[in-house]
Structure 1
């Protein structure tokens, strides 16, 4: 018999929805550098932007956002080659010592993935690196983000192996989530993550409906944003689409900018603005890059019924 949590998720995924609310303090920028950065970077950091934080897959801030009101969140993308390396720790400590406010850090981008942006780090190496370079930041008042695994079932297996290797010495405060499928699968995946790691809050640091048509991409955006804004344990989220449609690897219609650098409807909604009517064109998506999420929709559905 389905649990109360399962029934709640089913209701959330099937209930009618309206446009997502324009304003949300949870929204941040998943920054992706591009050849158009000199003009596009300004779009995300303006007086009428709803964004409050950003990360760029690096330990140091983006130069174009020096003095910005956007809160920078450093990331340790992968593991260094030396088991004596302290670069990430020293970089973050240097930022703090220099007067920067660093309340959070992120770690290990898709370590269970060895292609298409994955850092390809084994769980034991990640655990040892965490204990050496990330855990000590806790003493400086920094809250620590667990590794951000893919949405595929292998991600859950990797994360379990990571915490086993940590043997209680990796005290993550929040758990990041990545997702590139439809909304029903997304809601189910979020429920699975929360059910497994209910002692942590959640950040959704990459999400989009990869390679979907425009109407479906917009529906997904509105459903997912409304969903995340209603859930207390999701404290931060960042849509994967802050690039032009002709360079998007999740499909042109998921992008927040057109090929000419104008805000699409999704981009405008995400910034807390009204729809623009600008239609994106010319995507460079490759569906094979996101093969993992298709399996998760079925796997997570079975899990929630357990």
Structure 2
């Protein structure tokens, strides 16, 4: 069982039981927030989603005695964190980098798999910001496309950094195309095998640990079924 494997756990999942994911098999989780809010033995990774509450983030992190944090969530997108990279870099150096001096590892802002995202993070890093690992997202089709993207992103942004894939799934953004469950299953099996083999991939979390997903993300990617139990993919995720 890979110790790289974790879950992204939406805060609205309160009606589901996190314990369907055994903590001896799924070793870490995050919930896009700085607050754990759940009773579990899994290693919790706080996230600073955007600039809101950044002044208190360091105190919350120190209180929880965590080892790592995750940076801003898709800051290049107007419907997500929506941050200017220069202002984000200023805030990072003032409020986030002091945590690094206390031994906490810093995950980069988590970008989407677009040229816009890569440009944003490169601009951010060029301002002299320090990180310990890259956090990347990817949604699309074809395991080779997936692995090529994350490999190329690492080469562009810094091959010295290990990588966390904090969101990924098999999807089509074309409204006229659908992704079959067989294709999702094949991508799932192949991508986990490849990620486990790559030494520079430290951790990953499939998207998503929820009962349903928007149509453009494909319900076949859910790790939880309509009854709040593990789906077929969910059972594989905790057992392979």
Q: Which structure has the bigger radius of gyration?
A: 1
- Which residue of the other structure, out of 106, 128, 132, is the alignment partner of 2:94? 132
2:163 counterpart SS class: strand
The correspondence for 1:143, drawn from 92, 96, 105, is: 105
SS at match of 1:86: helix
| TM-score relative to the length of structure 1 | 0.72
Could you tell me how far apart the structure 2 residues matched to 1:143 and 1:33 are? Answer: 24
Deviations 1:170-196 (A, max 9, x none): 220100110001222211101102212
1:154 aligns with 2:113: no
Are residues 248 and 29 of structure 1, via their aligned partners in 2, closer, same or farther at CA, if it must alter by over 3 Å? farther
Aligned to 1:94: 63
Q: Does 1:193 align with 2:153?
A: yes
Tell me, in whole angstroms, the C-alpha distance in 2 between the residues paired with 1:25 and 1:222.
16
Q: Which runs of 5+ in 1 are unaligned?
A: 1-22, 97-101, 274-306
Deviation (angstroms), 1:121: 0.7
2:28 to 53, 56, 62: 53
Which residues of 2 match residues 31-42 of structure 1 at below 5 A?
A: 31-34=9-12, 37-42=14-19
Aligned residues of 1:86 and 1:132 also touching (Cα < 8 A):
no
Q: Where in structure 2 are the equivalents of 1:1-306 lying within 5 Å? A: 23-34=1-12, 37-44=14-21, 46=22, 50-62=25-37, 64-65=38-39, 68-80=40-52, 86-96=55-65, 102-115=66-79, 118-164=80-126, 166=127, 168=128, 170-182=129-141, 183-196=143-156, 197-211=158-172, 212-245=179-212, 250-272=217-239
Runs of 4+ in 1 over 4 A off after TM superposition: 246-249
Q: Distance in 1 between matches of 2:237 and 2:154?
A: 24
Secondary structure, counterpart of 2:146 in structure 1: helix
- 8 Å CA contact 1:79–1:125 kept in 2: the answer is no
* Alpha-carbon distance in 1 for matches of 2:153, 2:215: 27
SS in 2 for 1:75: coil
The separation in 2 between residues aligned to 1:106 and 1:39, in whole angstroms, is 24
Contact 1:241 1:248 in 2 (8 A): no
CA offset at residue 246 of structure 1? 6.2
Give yes or no for contact 1:145–1:172 (8 Å, CA) kept in 2. yes
Distance change >3 Å, CA 178–CA 246, structure 1 → 2: closer
Which residue does the alignment assign to 1:297? none
Tell me: CA distance 1:177–1:38, structure 2 relative to 1, closer, same or farther (3 Å).
same
Q: Secondary structure at the match of 1:90?
A: helix
Could you report, residue by residue, the CA deviation over 1:140-163 in whole angstroms, capped at 9, with x for unpaired residues?
A: 110111111110111111111111
Per-residue CA deviations over 1:267-305 (Å, capped at 9, x if unaligned) read 1111116xxxxxxxxxxxxxxxxxxxxxxxxxxxxxxxx
- Deviation per CA, 1:195-220: give whole Å up to 9, x if none: 12101100000000125210011111
For the residues of structure 1 that align with 2:34 and 2:117, how far apart are their CA atoms?
23
Aligned residue-pair number: 232
Return the alpha-carbon distance in structure 1 between the equivalents of residues 31 and 182 of structure 2. Answer: 29
Check 1:265–1:137 CA distance in 2 against 1; reply closer, same or farther (3 A cut).
same
